Amino acid sequence: MLSLYKSLKFIFRHLLPKRSRYTVARAFARMVIFMNRPRRQLLLSNLTPLVGLPRAQELAPVLLGNFSMTAVDFFCPRSSVVKSIKEENTQVIEKSWRKTRRVILVTAHIGNWELGISYLVHKGFSVAGVYAPYREDNVVRWILAHRNQDVEWIPASRGAAQASIDALRRGRLLGMVGDIPFGEKGRRVTIAGKSARLPLGPWAIAIRAEATVLPSFIIRESPGRYRVIIHDPIMPPTEGSFRSQMETMQEAYRAHLEKYLLKYPEQWGVLQPFWEKPDKTTP
């Protein structure tokens, strides 16, 4: 698998003209959708609850094309991409940090989520980021080598919660995703009328660290052009059990996530089963 990744990177980075990378990436995605039935069925199963099957069939190649363009931006980075990001309500980042000195930006696998950390570094913040390790250690190391080296990277494994809290206490902004429960069972929620599980980790960290949470999304407006949108803070509750506090914060984020999934389903780069099967009944 690593050899394939390296070969694709070499082709896109050294053999293709910059102006052709996104076009070839989208064409490659369409070929994968056509030839790889399991991948096609997975994307259809994720998209159908949001848009219905006919629309899901139209959007599946577009979704994988968007994911491929995200990969191009990741492995063939251009400084102009970060510098040209449009901003919406981003002043709340600085305002929240000055107020609490502990800020978590929780995003999702929508648009170009990988770009968020680089955006924060570009803005001059000290940043830590939580990432999901893969089974193949050599793949993990290779991907991590492409991530921003000015960032404190924390693997989502044992000890990640305490490492994240420590980073927050040192004044770093913490970036993480809130739509896939890596390394945990997560909590069942309802999105677009269907059950899924979202991680409780971000909310446990926020409560323990007394940190402000900013729901944050980077949306693709066109190939290589993005808009970062920061929503108003989600503050840790001061009353109720630890569990109820986590659920309250998660529910506020879930509402944002649902809105973005319904509005930008073709930008949702989750390439694993997301929805719970009907026979799952345990809480």
Q: Is the pLDDT of residue 260 over 80?
A: yes
Q: For residue 218, which of 132, 110, 127, 60 has the smallest C-alpha distance?
A: 110
Highest mean pLDDT (candidates 73-77, 131-135, 181-185, 275-279): 73-77
Of 5-9, 123-127, 212-216, 230-234, the range with the lowest mean pLDDT is 5-9
Mean pLDDT lowest among 92-96, 113-117, 228-232? 113-117
pTM of the model: 0.92
Distance from chain centroid for Cα 35: 27
| pLDDT at 8 (0 to 100) | 87
Residue 176 confidence class, pLDDT cut points 50, 70, 90: very high
Q: Which residue has the tokens 């648009």?
A: 111
Task: Report the pLDDT value the prediction gives residue 137, as an integer from 0 to 100.
Answer: 76
In this model, does residue 125 exceed pLDDT 90? yes
Residue 283 is predicted with a pLDDT of 47
pLDDT at residue 135 in the model: 64
DSSP letter string, 23-67 = HHHHHHHHHHHHH-HHHHHHHHHHHHHHH-HHHHHHHHHHHHHHH
Render pLDDT for 192-227 as a digit per residue (tens, 0 to 9): 999 999 999 999 999 999 999 999 999 999 999 999
Looking at per-residue pLDDT, the higher value among 1 and 154 belongs to: 154
CA 16 to chain centre: 27
**Exposure of 280 by Cβ count < 10 A (0-12 exposed, 13-18 middle, 19+ buried)?**
exposed
Report pLDDT for 186: 94
282 vs 99, more confident: 99
- 147 vs 135, which has greater pLDDT? 147
CA neighbor of 233 nearest in space, from 135, 103, 43: 103
Whole-number pLDDT of residue 279: 57
Which residue, among 219, 230, 227, 209, has the nearest Cα to 95 in the 3D structure? 230
DSSP label at residue 11? I
In the predicted structure, residue 281 carries a pLDDT above the cut 60: no
User: Using CA of residue 6, residue 130, residue 258, residue 118, what is the dihedral sign?
Assistant: negative
What pLDDT sits at residue 268?
A: 97
Average pLDDT, the chain: 93
